[in-house]
Amino acid sequence: MYSFTNDYNETAHPKLLESLLSQTKQKNSGYGLDDYCQLATQQIRTLTDSPKSAVHFLPGGTITNLTFISHVLRPYQAVIAASTGHIAVHETGAIEATGHKVITVEGVDAKLTPELIKPILDEHCDEHMVQPKMVYISNTTELGTIYSKQELQRLYQFCQQHNLYLYLDGARLAMALTAEANDLTFKDLAQLTDAFYIGGTKVGAFAGEALVINNLNLNQDFRFTMKQKGAMMAKSWILGLQFLTLLQDDLYLQLGAHSNKMAKTLQTIFTEHGFTFNIPPKTNQLFVNIPNGLIDDIMQNYCVYSFGQPDSEHTCLRFCTAWSTTQDDINKFQTYFKKLIQK
C-alpha cells in the first residue's frame, strides 16, 4: 500500500545519500566539532542573516525539544503550548519527564496568540503555582497551518513584554516557508524568536534538526545539556553534512515546495468531488472529512492517519504528502478514488 501517513517514511533524498556515501573513507572529528557542522553553521548564519546565532545539530525533533526546553527552564518553570502542540500530544510526556509542566490552551487553527496566553499568566500569579516562562509554537502547526509575519511579531513582542521566551519548532519549516500564503523568511525567524529549529527529518534528511539559538543567554553551557540528554551524536558530522547538502542551491525549500504542491494536487481531487476539510489546507497535510462508508476501503488500500470524527457520518483522515511523493502517486490515487466513489 502507498503511504500518505507521514513525510518521513522514506530513507533520504538521493543527494543526501550520495553525500554520505562519498565520506566512506574519510575520518571526521566528533560531537559537532567537525568541518561539516562548522560549514553548515556558517551557512545557516548567512541564511538567517544572524552571524552571532548559535547552531547545534541534534538527531530528532523530540530530543531537540526536550533538550532545549529543559536547558532553558528552571525547575519551577513551565512552557505554554497549544493543546495540539507536539510537546503536549506526541512526545510521550518527554517535557514533563524533565520536570517541567506543559500548560496547554486551545489554539486558533492550532496557533497561539497574545490573547490566549494572557489569561494563563494572570492565573499563575504566585509561587504556589508553576511559573510560565516559555511559549512553544510550531510552524507549520500540527494541523498544517502557518504563522504570518504579523502574528509572529505580535507574539514575540508580547513574550518580550512579559519576560517569556519564544521557541519555534520547525519540524516542517520548509513547508511553512514555501506555503502560498507565507510571508516569513529565515531572517524573520532569527529576529522574532529566542530559538527555532530547522527540521531535516521531515524534509529529506536521514535524520537531524538544526537548532538555532538567537538569544545567546540561552546558549550558555548548552552542549553540557546536549551531552547529558543523549542529544550529542559522536558522528554529528552526519547531520552537518546533510544540512550542508540540503541548504545548497535551495534544495531544502524546493523539497518543501514540492510537498506542498503534491498536497495541492491531492486537495483538488477531493474538492472536485465535493469533499470538505476539517481545517482549510495550507501546506502538505490534508485533513479530509470522509463518509464512514468509504473508510475501510481507503484504509485497506492506502496508509493514512485517522483523526477522529467531526460528526456521526464522517471520519477525518489525514493525508500527508512528502518530498518523495510523485505526480504518478497522485494520479494512481485519483484513479482509485474515482472508482471508489462511483461504486
> In terms of domains, do 191 and 60 share one?
yes
> In terms of domains, do 278 and 244 share one?
no
CA gap 61, 67 in Å, rounded:
10
> In terms of domains, do 192 and 260 share one?
no
Domains held by the chain: number: 2
**Predicted pLDDT of residue 10:** 86
> In terms of domains, do 153 and 300 share one?
no
* CATH number of the domain residue 310 falls in: 3.90.1150.10
Of the residues 209, 230, 248, the one at which a domain ends = 248
CA gap 311, 301 in Å, rounded:
24
Sheet holding 195-199, edge to edge: 54-58, 209-213, 195-199, 165-169, 131-138, 77-82, 102-105
**Predicted pLDDT of residue 342:** 87
Residue 254 · residue 245 · CB < 8 Å:
no
DSSP state for residue 136 in the 8-state scheme = E
Give residue 306's pLDDT band: very low, low, confident or very high (50, 70, 90).
very high
Q: DSSP states of 25-71 as a string?
A: T----STT-SHHHHHHHHHHHHHHT-TT-EEEEES-HHHHHHHHHHH
Each residue's pLDDT tens digit, 171-204: 999 999 999 999 999 999 999 999 999 999 999 9
Each residue's pLDDT tens digit, 68-81: 999 999 999 999 99
User: What average pLDDT does the segment 87-91 reach?
Assistant: 97
**Predicted pLDDT of residue 325:** 97
> In terms of domains, do 103 and 159 share one?
yes
* CATH number of the domain residue 178 falls in: 3.40.640.10
Residue 343 has pLDDT above 80, yes or no: no
**Can you give the residue range of the structural domain that contains 326?**
2-7+251-341
CA gap 30, 284 in Å, rounded:
35
In 260-296, which positions are buried (b, 16+ CB within 10 angstroms) versus exposed (e)? bbbbbbbbebbeeeebebbbebbbbbbbbbbeeebbe
> In terms of domains, do 216 and 255 share one?
no
Of the residues 220, 248, 276, the one at which a domain ends = 248
Each residue's pLDDT tens digit, 127-156: 999 999 999 999 999 999 999 999 999 999
User: What average pLDDT does the segment 253-268 reach?
Assistant: 98
CA atoms within 13 A on the CB side of 128: 2
> In terms of domains, do 192 and 174 share one?
yes
> In terms of domains, do 97 and 178 share one?
yes
**Predicted pLDDT of residue 24:** 79
Residue 26 has pLDDT above 90, yes or no: no
* Average pLDDT value for the chain: 97
Of the residues 248, 272, 296, the one at which a domain ends = 248
> In terms of domains, do 145 and 161 share one?
yes
> In terms of domains, do 212 and 297 share one?
no
Percent of the chain with pLDDT over 90: 97
Strand partners, 57: 210
Percent of the chain with pLDDT over 70: 100
> In terms of domains, do 264 and 227 share one?
no
> In terms of domains, do 216 and 293 share one?
no
Cell of 157: 513582542
